[in-house]
Amino acid sequence: MGAVEAIKLLNQSGYKVIIVTNQAGVAKGYFSEEKLQEINTGLLEIMTGQGAYVDKIYYCPHHAEGTVEEYKKECSWRKPNPGMLMEAAREYDLDMANSFMIGDKISDIVAGHRAGCRTILLTADGQTNASADAPKADHVAPNLYDAVMSILKIDTR
């Protein structure tokens, strides 16, 4: 089972599905913000065409070491900061204690903890490759589908 099936399960269970993503490529001049928005729109169309629904995509185009001046800055939205998650909580009236942050990087887990979410780290080999003092995820899963199955098993809403 893949990502589309996982998102469908979340949709059917009443969860909001929100993507939060760092996009330093904008700040580094690899692609424009307009191109990123085209890609995101295409992704949403593909998902919808397969019966899955993503409520919103939040992205941070900033990076302190960027080469595009308007995007070269520290930003409260750039993970591991929780800005995108907190904006989603405000916009969608989310209960963060009953929300999950699923990600494949320790910065995702840190952002989730800072926002008050439960966290799931995606790691295909079961290894976190994190230092001993790095924040630990609440759960580890090999892929999005297994992460969603974990959520549905522990759902306490």
Rounded to the nearest 5°, which phi and psi values hold at 48? -60, -40
Q: Where are the domains of the chain?
A: 3-154
Q: What is the pLDDT along the chain (157 residues), one digit of tens a residue?
A: 799 999 999 999 999 999 999 999 999 999 999 999 999 999 999 999 999 999 999 999 999 999 999 999 999 999 999 999 999 999 999 999 999 999 999 999 999 999 999 999 999 765 555 555 667 999 999 999 999 999 998 765 5
SS3 121: strand
Q: Closest by alpha carbon to 57, among 40, 79, 34? A: 40
How far out from the chain centre does Cα 35 lie? 20
Q: Give the DSSP per-residue string, 12-37.
A: HTT---EEEEE-HHHHTTSS-HHHHH
Edge-to-edge order in the sheet of strand 100-103 = 100-103, 118-122, 139-141
Tokens 């306490």 map to which residue?
A: 156
DSSP for residue 57: E
Looking at the domain that runs over 3-154, which CATH code has it been given?
Answer: 3.40.50.1000
pLDDT at 155: 63
pLDDT at 1: 76
